[in-house]
Structure formats: structure tokens, C-alpha cells
Amino acid sequence: MSKGARRWALEAERYRRDGFLSPVRIIGHGEAADHRRKLERAEAAAGNLHYQAKVHTILRSPLQLATHPRALDVVEALLGPNILVWNVTYIIKEPRTPAHVSWHQDLTYWGLDGEDQVSMWLALSPANETSGCMRLVPGSHREGRRGHRLTGDEANVLFQGQTVDGVDESAAELCPLQPGEASFHHGWTLHASLPNRSDDRRIGLNVQYLAPRMRQVKHSRDTALLARGVDEFGHFEHDIPATEDLHPDALARHRELNRLYQETVGRGP
Ligand SMILES: O=C(O)CCC(=O)C(=O)O
């Protein structure tokens, strides 16, 4: 284990107990504001980027954040030295809109065959009770898979509106984050978020990390980027990281990647 990752050993214990870790500062306020400006410049040029898959293949800012050494140190302490970035996506709730995320577990619909996975949610604007930060149920990752109902709710950010009924919300913890802070959660941890009632955009960058032994079983094709260590398994085709912003070749590849992702995650249980 690297020296950077060894510093997170105590927090890793807490993660194994609770199924999440928060808040973890990854970058400073000024840097977070700079990354937000870069996102908003890209939106002005390319249109809506909310919930587009694999944005690290078309933009350098999300690539830098997803592969930030501090983020990878935390992930290494949780997953081990070999780390794939599977997906990077902005989750944006516009001010005073009904967009929300229902109670769900990530690993129920990603088509991955194991649980060597962790998600980082990095705030690029204040995420708090008013703006609809995440709520998570501590320890729920240890209770395994829960039944999900597909709702088709238009205001639900999740493609299929998948929802776990009967969650004891009194057990949930609110997970407020300042810009530049992140939470890390396990794919079986029950989580949700309410609408943004603030006057600012609530912007998160969601990065999904895997250990290379994981395998996609819901689709014959899937891709990932090796971020640290080695991939001795070769279960994923290789994503090409962005070397400039919105290059036409990268955008053409990205359309296909986004289609593949939606075919995998956007359908079936
Ligand atoms: O952005 C949100 O409010 C929810 C995020 C989420 O469901 C996730 O990161 O898995």
C-alpha cells in the first residue's frame, strides 16, 4: 500500500462499518470554484452535461479530479492498490427544481459481478440540507441487496427511477459537503437526496472506482481507465482520457460510450 493510502487506514475501518466516509477534503475552495468555472464553460460550448457518462474522456477537469492523488489514496485504502475509473458523471440539480434521487443501491443496476467498488461524490458547489445533499443509511451495505421498484418518475435523476420502499429514514445521516469536499460510499449503501430548494446550482462530480477483478455481466462490452497500479485481468476495454477539451474525435467516441452506458445501466434490473 502506498504511503498516501496508509494515512487513511483508520477511516477505512469506519467505511467498512458505516458503508461511507464523509467529509473528505480533496481540493481547496478556490480550486473547486475553478473546476466549476471549467464545467460551466464546457456547458456553454457543449450543452447539458448532467448525468452524461464518462465525461473524463471529453474534458480534462473531471479527469484531473477523478485521478487526483488524494482521491486515489482514499480509494486505495478502501479497494487496494489497483484502481480502475469506471464512470465519471456530473450530477447537477438546478436551483428550485424537483429533481431528486430516490432510495437505492448502486450495485443493483450497474451489471457488475462483485462489490469491489466505491463511489466518490465531490462537491463543486455547496451540498447541504437546503440544496439536496445526499442522505445515507449507515451500516445498510452489510445487509446486502434490497428489492427495487422501477417508477419511471420524471423528476427522479436515476434512469429508471428505481426505488427501495420502506427505508427507515430516521436512521439516515445527512451528508453535507463544502465545495472541494467529497464523500465515498459503498455500492450497497442505501442513499437518496431531496430536491434543491436553494438559489444556487447543486453540482457534484460522481466518480465510480472498481478493482480490476470486477466484471460487467449485463452487457458484452464495457470500458474503464486504469488510474493506479496494474490491471492483471483485462475485463474492460480501455477508455481514452481527455487530452484537450471537447475534441471532435473524443466527442464522437463519447456518444458511443454514453450509448453503451445507457444500454447497460438504463435498462433491466
Ligand atoms: O447526486 C445525488 O444526489 C445522488 C448521487 C447518487 O445517487 C450517487 O452518487 O450514487
Atom in ligand 1 nearest the alpha carbon of residue 133: 3
Q: What gap in Å lies between CA 55 and CA 62, rounded to an integer?
A: 7
Give, using CA atoms, the residue closest to atom 3 of ligand 1.
193
In short, whether 206's Cβ falls inside 6 Å of ligand 1 is yes
What distance in angstroms lies between residue 49's CA and the mean position of ligand 1's atoms?
15
Ligand 1 pocket test, candidate residues 21, 49, 157, 209, most atoms within 8 A of CB: 157
What's the domain count of the chain? 1
Q: Residue 106: CB within 6 Å of ligand 1?
A: yes
Q: Give the position, in ligand 1's atom list, of the atom nearest the Cα of 132.
A: 3
d(CA 30, CA 194): 27
Burial (0-12, 13-18, 19+ Cβ within 10 Å), 204 = buried
Name the pTM for this structure: 0.96
Does residue 208 line the site of ligand 1, with CB under 6 A?
no
What is the span of the domain harbouring residue 200? 3-265
Can you tell me which atom of ligand 1 is nearest the CA of 106?
10
Question: Among candidates 74, 71, 100, which has minimal Cα distance to 88?
Answer: 71
Question: What atom of ligand 1 comes closest to residue 206's alpha carbon?
Answer: 9
Ligand 1 atom showing the smallest separation from residue 204 Cα: 1
Q: Which of 105, 107, 119, 133 to mutate to test the pocket of ligand 1 (most atoms within 8 A of CB)?
A: 119
> Ligand 1 within 6 A of 193 CB?
yes
Atom of ligand 1 nearest to the CA of 193: 3
Grid coordinates standing for 217?
455481466
From residue 250, alpha-carbon distances to 25, 59, 221, 255 in Å are 30, 9, 18, 9
Residue 87: CATH number of its domain? 2.60.120.620
Residue with cell 471549467: 38
Beta bridge partners of 54: none
**Ligand 1 centre from 232 Cα, in Å?**
30
User: What are the pLDDT tens digits along the chain (269 aa)?
Assistant: 899 999 999 999 999 999 999 999 999 999 999 999 999 999 999 999 999 999 999 999 999 999 999 999 999 999 999 999 999 999 999 999 999 999 999 999 899 999 999 999 999 999 999 999 999 999 999 998 998 888 888 898 888 888 988 999 999 999 999 999 999 999 999 999 999 999 999 999 999 999 999 999 999 999 999 999 999 999 999 999 999 999 999 999 999 999 999 889 876 65
